[in-house]
Every structure is written in C-alpha cells, then in structure tokens.
Chains A and B, each alone.
Chain A
Amino acid sequence: MTDIAAPIRPASGASALYRHARYVIGENPVTGLAFGLFVLIFIAALVGPWIVPYSPLASDTSETLKAPSLHHLFGTDQLGRDIFSRVVVATQLDFCIAIFSVVLVFLMGGLAGVAAGYFGGWTDQVVGRIADTVMAFPLFVLAMGIVAALGNTVQNIVLATAIINFPLYARVARAEANVRRESGFVEAARLSGNREWRILFFHILPNVFPILVVQMSLTMGYAILNAAGLSFIGLGVRPPTPEWGIMVAEGAANIISGEWWIAFFPGAALMIAVFCFNLLGDGLRDIVDPRRRT
C-alpha cells in the first residue's frame, strides 16, 4: 500500500483516541509534565509509608526544629519529626480524601443530573432545587457547617466536599443527558422495548461518562484544597496524623520566628498536587471534549 493512503484511513476507536491523546500532549507539553507529576503523586500515595527514611510519627528530642539538611531533607518540626517523611506519607490520606469525595459526588450528582436531564418533569425540579440551595451558600462555609453538624471526622470531610460539588456535577450531567434524550440511538433503544431505566443506565450514562470523568479530574484539585482548608482550621484530621493542611497549621506559628520549612514543604506539596490536577483536568478535557478548549 502507499504511504499517502495511510493517514487518511479512519482508525479504530482505541488507537484513534491514543493518537489524539499523543497529539494533544505533543501540542501542550505542560499536560505531559502534569501527567508525570500525577504518576509521582500516585506512587507516593501507593508506597509512601514503606519508602520514607523515618517514621512519620517518631519524635526525636535531640533533633527539634532543624533546618533542611542532607540528614533531614525538609528539616524537622517542634517534636523532631522528619518533615520529608511526613509530607510523603501524607500524600496517601490527601489523595484518598480527594478520590473518595470525587467518586461520591459522581455517584450523587452525576446520577441525579442524568436522571434530571433524561426524565425532566418533577425529577428535574427536585434536583434543580437541591442544586440551587447548595449554590446559595459560599461553598467552603457550607462545608464547615456540614462537618460541624455531622461530627468532626475524615469521613464527614469527604462527604462535605462531595456535597458542595453536587451542583457542578448535577448541572453538567443534566445538560449532557438532556441533549441526548431525543437522539436517534435513544429512540432506537426505546423502540426495541428497553425500559426507561435501562436506557438511562446503558444508553445515556455511557455517553455522558467521559464528560463526567473530565469533570472529576477538574474537581480533584479543588477537593484537595477544600479538604486541606478544613483540616487547617482544625476539622477532620487530628494530630499527629500527617496531612498537608494540618501540617501547615502546625508550622504556622513558627513562620514569624523564621522556621519556614515546617509549613513550607507540606504547603508546597499541596500546591504542586493541586496544580498538577488542574493541568491534568485541562489536558483531559482537550482530549475528550476539544470544543471547550480555551
């Protein structure tokens, strides 16, 4: 065959997606960088506790408030704990909080939104009302109220983070389901005798799914920020558990006496993680939904 014919041949789904992904990453190297960072964060979350040089909880009274050195890469805190070890081990908890809250909001908001968009009528009214009520609060303030009422635990931080993101998911899912409810493949499914719920789950949802996945990666960064903010003001995670937000809070008092490293490294880790998820979300959106590219 000729070389000229090859590029025109329409590729099958998977390889086309791969090629498109490679094109997008080649176009925007920042996405590649973000993906590399994501892999690093993922590895730290997976094996962090087993690869760190010190125990994240072990204090050493002879080594308190030491500046970063070869011995302690990120220095030590008031109790002589190794900050590098604590930052790496904390990845797991922060990552899990973000993942669980995003999956939870996908289940709540995504499904409610798809149902609202597909069925319309009173389902749409109820979901819309709930979303409007959540949106009437400044979101971080609502999260504080929810955690205060439900109890000061990590599970409730996950739940609160999911609830404040509910309107975002419900709206995206509703809009996407709504434009598809009268489309050809849905009509065909209906004519072949599928029940409404079956159409919703097996015909509409798979089509809306990629867009919701993009939404999930876009909200990951916000979820981490929100959870860290809550633990910074003393909600959810309790000391001495290593977690980025609470570690920044522990080092806050030392900033004005010049021991910057206690708050700096967990804060920087937090910032890099959020930056990485935001960039990755943008990159993923370019692949799945090129129209919304900015």
Chain B
Amino acid sequence: MLGTIAKRTMTVIPTLIGVIVVTFLLTRVLPGDPAVYFAGPAATPQSIADIRKSLGLDKPLPEQFVVYVNDLAHGNLGNSLATGQPVMTEIESRLPASAELTLFGLIISMVIAIPLGILAAVKQGSWIDHTCRVVATAGVSLPVFFTGLLLVYVFYFLLGWAPAPLGRLDVFYTAPPQVTGFYLIDSLIAGDFEVFRAALAQLILPGLTLAIFSLAPIARMTRASMLAVLASDYVRTARASGLSAYRVIVTYAFRNAMLPVITTLGMVFSFLLGANVLVEKVFAWPGIGSFAVEALIASDYAPVQGFVLTMAVMYVALNLLIDILYGIVDPRVRLEA
C-alpha cells in the first residue's frame, strides 16, 4: 500500500514542474517590462537598466528560471509592492480563512447533494428526480457572485437573520487563539461558544453560496453512479436474498456508488477554488482570493503569481489525496496499480 502511494506521488512531479514553468512564464516572457514598471514614470534608461540588473532580468531566461526555482525552494515568493511584506507570510496568514470557507462549503454541498442524488436514483422518474435535475442545471447556471448577493439581500437585508457580510467575525468579538487557524475549531478548543456561534453565523452564507455552485456535479454523479449500481447483478442477488431495501441501498449499493463520486471531487475542487475568489470578494472574506484580487487591481504581480502557484499546488495535492483515498476505498485499484 505504501509503495502504491509512493508511486502515485512520483507522478505528481511532472505536473508540478509544468505548473512552476507556467507561473514563471506568466510574468517573464510576456509583453511589458517589469523593470520599467518598477522604475516608475520618472525613470531614465540608466535607472531602468539598474533595476533590471538588480531584479536579475538581464540574465538569460533559463538562468532566471533557476533563480526563481531556487527562491521557491527557500519559500520566497517575492514581496508585495503595496505592503512591502513577503508574499509568503501574507498567503500563510490568509490561507486558513480560505481553507475554512472552502471546506465548509464542500461539506454543506456533500450533505445536500449525496442524499439528493441517491433519492433521485432510487425513485427514478419521481418528483425528487426532477427536482434533482432542475437543481443541478440551475446550480451550474447561477453566477456564484450573484447567488451570494441574493442570499445577502434575502437573509441580511430582508429577514435580518444573517450578520453583515463583512469578514470572518463581527467586530464585537475577538478571534480565538490560533491553533488550527479555523475559527470554528479554535473557538471550540478555547471553549468559547459565543465566538463559535458568531463565526458560524458569518460562515453560513458564503458557505451556502459555494455549496449551491458545487452541488450540481456531485448530485449528478451520485445519481448516475447509483443508477448503474442498482442495475448490477450483486444488487439483484442481494434483493433476491430478501435483504431489506435499506440494507441493499446503504450497504451494497451506496458504498460502491461512492467510488466515481470521489473521482468527481477533483473537478469539484477546481470549481470551488475558483469560485472561492468571487465569494471572498462578495463577503469581504479575508482569504487569499481577496488578497489576489486587491493585488490584481493594483497591478502588483508578485502576490498574483504567488496566489496562482499556491492554488495550483493545493489543487495538485488535493487530486493526489483523492487518488490515494480512492485506492484505500477500492481494493481493486490497488491491485491494478
């Protein structure tokens, strides 16, 4: 088993090299001279040349690439122009906020989508099946920033149930002492239920927004895979042996039907990480997405590059994790590998 995991991990290396090359090329080869930009409007040709030299831009491209990779290996993503801070520290301090939001969204999404998909398959052609189809199609059609704003209007302005969409915690509360960086978990560790409730209240609307967006692929895949499994021989055998409907569906069908769903999670994460940026902007969420958006508007390249690289590395890691998980859940994959 460990050998399989190691082998699978090795296959990530070419992908990671590709990712690093692309992020490097994104800022080096393309039109626009960073040296001119850094030198400012009052630059002389001499000062531009000096800056080019100090940034290492006068060296040939392969050499620049080596320097870039070396910096990456030392955890150096450059400094932000706007704040002067190293991009790495900024991303590190903001990552938990994004991770908490994304995972919370994913959990809500799975809690809704998987039962919906199972019910749609078990009662194929019923109103639940039709609801599932409509929800799935509508979910992918809704622009995620629009869903977020609608939820804010209904639950904050009209009903007053949700707090103002401004960040992770209302100003009246102080953040719990950092252990995991997830406010929900940290507040529980600190035993502060007041803060837990407040953090949860802030998290619900953005989490729900992400969930609505990512629901569709999970629900569709669950339904399709349940339908395939329910038509299989072993389910027929289980039924013929007189097992209860609950036992057949949950023990026999559901476990096997979950395998393709786990694979779909890779695509869902691609959706979620992208949508996260938009949701963070709508809810003024202090995560890495809103950090990148601010930097984008100010043409501050180092944070954007750092952000794209971080997201890509996380996505590659998540896909690896999903593959390994798949191998653990399904022994057949292990044998073949």
A157-B331 Cα distance, complex, nearest whole Å: 44
B273 at the interface (CB under 8 A from A): yes
Contact B277 A145 (CB under 8 A): no
Candidates B137, B149, B308; contact of A145 at CB < 8 Å: B308
A288→B32 CA distance, assembly (Å): 45
Query: Shortest Cβ distance from B297 into chain A, in angstroms?
Result: 5
A228 partner, pick from B23, B143, B281, beta carbons under 8 A: B143
Residues of B with C-beta under 8 A to A129: 18
Contact across chains for A148 and B296 when beta carbons are under 8 A apart:
yes
Interface residues on A, range: 35 or more
Nearest-neighbor residue (CB-CB) of B154 within chain A: A260
Residues of B within 8 A of A232 (CB): 143, 145, 278, 281
Q: In whole angstroms, what is the CA distance A236 to B275 when docked?
A: 18
Chain A positions within 8 Å of B156 at CB level: 256
Partner pick for B149 among A136, A140, A146, A267, CB 8 A cutoff: A267
Instruction: Please measure, in the bound complex, the distance between the C-alpha atom of A148 and the C-alpha atom of B16, giving whole angstroms.
Output: 21
Contact residues of A: prevailing secondary structure: helix
Residues A137 and B137 in contact in the complex (CB < 8 Å), given A255-B153, A274-B143: no
Q: Once the chains are docked, how many angstroms separate the CA of A116 from the CA of B314?
A: 30
Let me know if A263 and B146 touch, CB within 8 A: yes
Residue in B15, B145, B312 with the greatest tally of chain A CB atoms within 10 Å? B145
Assembled-state Cα–Cα distance A131/B42 (Å) = 43
Interface flag for B67 (CB, 8 Å): no
**A287 in the interface, Cβ–Cβ < 8 Å?**
no
Chain A residues within an 8 Å CB radius of B299: 148, 152
Chain B residue with minimal CB distance to A140?
Answer: B274
Contacting residues of chain A (229-287) with chain B, CB-CB under 8 angstroms: 229, 232-235, 245, 248-249, 251-252, 255-258, 260, 263-264, 267-268, 270-271, 274-275, 278-279
Contact A248 B274 (CB under 8 A): no
Contact check, B312 vs A137: say whether CB atoms are below 8 A apart: yes
Give Cα distance in the complex from A264 to B307, angstroms: 30
In the complex, the answer to whether B312 meets A136 with C-beta atoms within 8 Å is: yes
B281/A233 in contact, CB under 8 A = yes
B164 within 8 A of A: yes
CB pair A136–B30 under 8 Å, yes or no, is no
Taking CB atoms and an 8 Å cut-off, the chain B residues in 183-211 that contact chain A are none
Contact among A141, A146, A256, A270 for B146, CB-based, below 8 A: A270
B270 proximal to A (CB < 8 A): yes
Please encode chain B, from 204 to 240, with 1 for each CB lying within 8 Å of some chain A CB and 0 for all others: 0000000000000000000010000000000000000
Cβ of B60 under 8 Å from chain A: no
User: How far, in Å, is B60 (CB) from chain A's closest CB?
Assistant: 20
Instruction: Kindly state whether residue B142 has any CB partner on chain A within 8 Å.
Output: yes
Chain B contact surface mostly: helix
Q: Which of B1-31 touch A at CB < 8 Å?
A: 15-16, 18-19, 21-23, 26-27, 30-31
What residue of chain A has the Cβ atom nearest to residue B25's Cβ?
A149
Is B144 part of the contact surface with A, judged by Cβ < 8 Å? yes
Closest chain A CB from B187 CB (angstroms) = 26
Q: Once the chains bind, are A139 and B304 in contact (CB under 8 Å)?
A: no
In the complex formed, the residue of A with least CB distance to B19 is: A136
Per-residue interface assignment for chain B, residues 52 to 74, with 1 indicating a CB less than 8 Å from any chain A CB and 0 otherwise: 00000000000000000000000
Does A151 make an interface contact (CB < 8 A)? yes
Distance in Å: Cβ of A230 to nearest Cβ of chain B: 10
Pairwise interchain contact B308-A137, C-beta atoms closer than 8 A:
yes
- A138 close to chain B: CB less than 8 A: yes
Is B262 among interface residues, defined by CB-CB distance under 8 A? Answer: no
Q: B304 and A144: CB pair below 8 A?
A: yes
User: CB distance A141 to B224 under 8 Å?
Assistant: no
Q: How far is the CA of A67 from the CA of B74 in the complex (A)?
A: 56
Distance (whole angstroms) from the CB of A163 to the closest CB of chain B: 10
Are B141 and A141 in contact, with the CB atoms below 8 A? Answer: no
Of the candidates A149, A150, A256, A267, the one having the most CB atoms from chain B within 10 angstroms of its own CB is A149
- Expressed in whole angstroms, the Cα–Cα distance for A133 and B32 within the complex equals 24
Q: A254 CB to closest chain B CB, in angstroms? A: 10
Q: Is B329 an interface residue (CB 8 A)?
A: no
Closest chain A residue, CB of each to CB of B290: A233
- Which residues, 272 to 330 on B, are CB-close (under 8 Å) to A? 272-275, 277-278, 281-282, 292-293, 296-297, 299, 301, 304-305, 307-308, 311-312, 315-316
Considering the complex, give the chain A residue whose CB is closest to the CB of B272. Answer: A138
Interface status of B157 (Cβ within 8 A of chain A): yes
Q: Which residues of B contact A (CB under 8 A)?
A: 15-16, 18-19, 21-23, 26-27, 30-32, 137-138, 140-146, 149-150, 152-153, 156-157, 164-165, 224, 269-275, 277-278, 281-282, 292-293, 296-297, 299, 301, 304-305, 307-308, 311-312, 315-316
Can you list 8 A-B pairs with a CB-CB distance of less than 8 A? Answer: A140-B278, A144-B292, A146-B26, A233-B278, A256-B152, A257-B157, A263-B146, A271-B141
Could you list which residues of chain A lie within 8 angstroms of chain B, going by C-beta atoms? 129, 132-133, 136-142, 144-146, 148-152, 221, 225, 228-229, 232-235, 245, 248-249, 251-252, 255-258, 260, 263-264, 267-268, 270-271, 274-275, 278-279, 294
Give me 10 other A-B pairs in contact (C-beta within 8 A), A136-B312, A233-B281, A252-B282 excluded. A132-B18, A137-B308, A144-B292, A232-B278, A232-B281, A233-B296, A234-B296, A249-B145, A267-B145, A270-B143
